[in-house]
Amino acid sequence: SQELEQSPQSLIVQEGKNLTINCTSSKTLYGLYWYKQKYGEGLIFLMMLQKGGEEKSHEKITAKLDEKKQQSSLHITASQPSHAGIYLCGAVSNLEYGNKLVFGAGTILRVKS
Amino acid sequence: DTGVSQNPRHKITKRGQNVTFRCDPISEHNRLYWYRQTLGQGPEFLTYFQNEAQLEKSRLLSDRFSAERPKGSFSTLEIQRTEQGDSAMYLCASSSNRQGYEQFFGPGTRLTVL
């Protein structure tokens, strides 16, 4: 079965600093989702990547999919306290669209102001 | 609000009791998913529906768990004879082929079994 490993497990950054979160899959990634979660709440959809080499940006968050390495990265530029939360990557487990997602354990981000 | 909604948001129950959760997906989303999340972990897939048909169930879904989506709209997840190990956040998500099957999640129902 497919497994996703996220690194780091947690990080604390000073407001204004850049940071990167990585998600590595044990199998080929056919689709990779990034979500943000505040403690005790639901998941907020950030971005979905499907093609190798694809890169998407939303405000100060950029995600890339390196299909060859079975890895995705999430980069936040000039972090703000509003970026704090848990970032989760989720992968489509097979080629069928609309199928279940397998998630990593999450990366806890704290931003010090 | 046209997002995914879940009720109740919190449920505290005693071991051995039955509980039922409800999920209302985004209107016209044909796929609906249930996940379970425990502290410090990512969500784990439980089951999903396409319209009213339940297409897949995880091994996590023991015979004490049952899910329905009778008219292809809202869904219910029932847990019978709850155990302390059932304590978790139960998340519902929906998706549509018109939106590339991006899964949008509800706020979750937090279950505590005493």
pLDDT on residue A97: 54
pLDDT on residue B85: 95
> With contact defined as beta carbons under 8 Å apart, do B36 and B93 qualify?
no
Q: What is the pLDDT along chain A (113 residues), one digit of tens a residue?
A: 778 999 999 999 999 999 999 999 988 877 899 999 998 889 999 999 988 889 999 889 999 998 686 899 999 999 999 999 999 999 986 656 557 899 999 999 999 99
Phi and psi based region of residue B2 (left: phi greater than 0; alpha: psi -120 to 50; beta: remaining): alpha
- Position B67 pLDDT exceeds 80: yes
Phi and psi based region of residue A67 (left: phi greater than 0; alpha: psi -120 to 50; beta: remaining): alpha
Phi and psi based region of residue B107 (left: phi greater than 0; alpha: psi -120 to 50; beta: remaining): alpha
Interface test with A, best of B50, B105, B112 (most A CBs within 10 A): B105
CA distance A41 to chain B (A): 5
3-state secondary structure of B50: strand
| Whether B43 and A97 lie within 8 Å, measured CB to CB | no
CA distance A16 to chain B (A): 27
pLDDT category of residue B34 using cuts at 50, 70 and 90: very high
Structure-block tokens of residue A51: 């093609």
- Position B93 pLDDT exceeds 60: yes
Chain A interface, Cβ < 8 Å to B:
4, 33, 35, 40-45, 48, 88, 90, 97-106
Distance CA B43, CA B91 (A): 8
- Position B114 pLDDT exceeds 70: yes
